[in-house]
C-alpha cells in the first residue's frame, strides 16, 4: 500500500550502537533496519492526538465518500474529504475553499505528514490554482504534520455522502465532469455512520449481508483481552442473525467487523451496538488474568486479524 520513505543513504551506526541491536528509538526493530537504514521509521498511529482519531482512520481506510470540517491554528476552515477526483491530495476552488483528501495515490510511513504537506501547500496556493505539494514522501520535501497545523480543540464530525456530489459544489460543471462524477459515484457502497457511536460504520456490499466496521481507539492488547472475555462468554455478537467476522489493523488501531442481515436498516443497529459497547466497557475494566477458555478465545480472535498497513 504505502511506499517507504527514504530520507538518505544508510548511515553508519554511532559509536557504541551495535547495528544488530534494537534501535534506541524503541521501535523494536534492529538499528540497521530502523534509524540506521536510511528510511524514516514508520509512525504506528499517524492520527494520534487529533480529535476523532478513529474516524480519521475510517475516512482513510473504510468510508468511500465523506467529509468533515477542519480548522487550522490560524482559524481558516478546510473541508476534509475521504477522496478527491483522481486521488489528488488537495485542491483550492475559485472561491478560495480548500478541499483536502485523506485517501491519496501514494503515501509514506507517516500519513499525517503526507496530508499535512498537502495542507501546507494548499494554504499557500492562490484560489483556483492547482495545488502542488511536491512528491509525497520524497526526501527533503516533507512538510509539517497535521498535528502542527490544526486547531486540536475543534470538533471532528464526519458527514457520510451517498455520492461524490461535493466534488462539484459551487462550480458550473460540464457534461464530462458530470459523467465522471456519476461513474465514480456508482462504485460507492451504501454506508452509514451509526449516530452517537465513535467510528462505527454500517456498510452493505451486496444483497445477502451487511457489515458493521467499528474502529476502536483502545490499545490492541487491552482490546483483545476484553473481546476474548466476551467471546468466551458468547457475548461477542450483536444479536440474532449476527456473527463476529474478524478484525483488521489499520494505522495503529483495531477494526472489529460483524456480519449482519442485509435487510435490517442501518439505524436498527444503534441499540445492539450500544449494548455491546456497555459489555465491552465492563470487560475492559476487568483486571483478573484471562481464564484458559478466554486465552483460547483470544488465540481465535488473533487468527482472524489482518493488517491493512
> Rounded to two decimals, what is the model's pTM?
0.84
Same domain flag for 236 and 115: no
Largest CA distance in the chain: 66
- The pLDDT of residue 165 is 92
Per-residue pLDDT at 107: 80
The C-alpha atoms of residue 248 and residue 211 are separated, in whole angstroms, by 14
Q: Which of 185, 214, 237 is the last residue of a domain?
A: 185
Indicate whether 28 and 70 sit together in one domain: no
Domains of the chain: total: 3
pLDDT of residue 152: 97
pLDDT tens, position by position, 1-26: 333 333 334 445 556 677 777 766 55
Residues 85 and 108 in one domain: yes
In a domain, 48, yes or no: no
Closest CA to 110 of 28, 237, 3: 3
- 25 within a domain of the structure (yes/no): yes
* Residues 59 and 25 both lie in one domain: no
Flag residues of the chain having pLDDT under 50: 1-11, 33, 37-39, 139-140
Helix (H, G, I), strand (E, B) or coil at 284: helix
pLDDT reported for residue 168: 87
Q: Is 285 helix (H, G, I), strand (E, B) or coil?
A: helix
pLDDT at site 277? 97
Confidence (pLDDT) at 26: 52
Same domain, 178 and 57: yes
Domain extent, residue 114, equals 53-185
Of 127, 72, 80, the residue nearest 99 (C-alpha): 80
Amino acid at each position: 500500500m504505502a511506499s517507504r520513505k527514504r530520507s538518505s543513504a544508510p548511515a553508519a551506526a554511532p559509536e557504541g550502537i551495535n547495528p544488530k541491536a534494537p534501535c534506541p528509538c524503541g521501535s523494536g526493530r534492529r538499528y540497521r533496519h530502523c534509524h540506521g537504514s536510511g528510511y524514516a521509521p514508520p509512525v504506528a498511529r499517524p492520527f494520534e492526538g487529533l480529535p476523532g482519531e478513529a474516524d480519521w482512520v475510517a475516512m482513510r481506510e473504510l468510508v468511500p465518500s465523506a467529509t468533515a470540517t477542519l480548522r487550522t491554528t490560524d482559524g481558516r476552515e478546510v473541508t476534509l474529504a475521504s477522496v478527491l477526483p483522481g486521488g489528488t491530495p488537495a485542491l483550492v476552488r475559485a472561491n478560495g475553499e480548500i478541499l483536502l483528501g485523506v485517501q491519496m495515490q501514494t503515501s509514506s510511513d507517516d500519513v499525517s505528514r503526507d496530508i499535512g504537506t498537502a495542507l501546507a501547500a494548499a494554504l499557500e496556493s492562490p484560489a483556483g490554482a492547482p495545488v502542488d505539494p511536491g512528491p509525497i514522501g520524497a526526501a527533503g520535501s516533507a512538510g509539517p504534520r497535521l498535528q502542527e497545523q490544526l486547531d486540536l480543540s475543534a470538533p471532528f464530525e464526519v458527514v457520510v455522502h451517498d455520492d461524490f456530489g461535493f466534488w462539484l459544489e459551487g462550480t458550473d460543471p460540464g457534461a464530462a465532469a458530470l459523467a465522471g462524477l456519476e461513474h465514480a459515484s456508482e462504485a460507492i457502497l451504501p454506508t452509514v455512520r451509526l449516530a452517537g457511536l465513535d467510528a462505527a460504520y454500517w456498510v452493505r456490499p451486496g444483497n445477502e449481508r451487511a457489515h458493521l466496521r467499528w474502529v476502536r481507539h483502545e490499545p490492541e492488547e487491552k482490546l483483545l483481552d476484553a473481546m476474548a472475555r466476551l467471546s468466551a462468554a458468547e457475548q461477542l455478537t450483536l444479536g440474532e442473525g449476527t456473527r463476529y467476522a474478524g478484525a483488521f489493523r489499520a494505522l495503529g488501531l483495531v477494526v472489529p467487523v460483524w456480519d449482519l442481515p442485509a435487510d435490517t436498516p442501518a439505524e436498527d443497529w444503534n441499540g445492539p451496538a450500544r449494548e455491546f459497547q456497555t459489555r465491552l466497557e465492563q470487560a475492559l475494566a476487568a483486571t483478573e488474568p484471562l481464564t484458559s477458555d478466554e486465552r483460547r478465545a483470544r488465540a481465535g480472535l488473533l487468527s482472524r486479524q489482518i493488517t491493512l498497513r
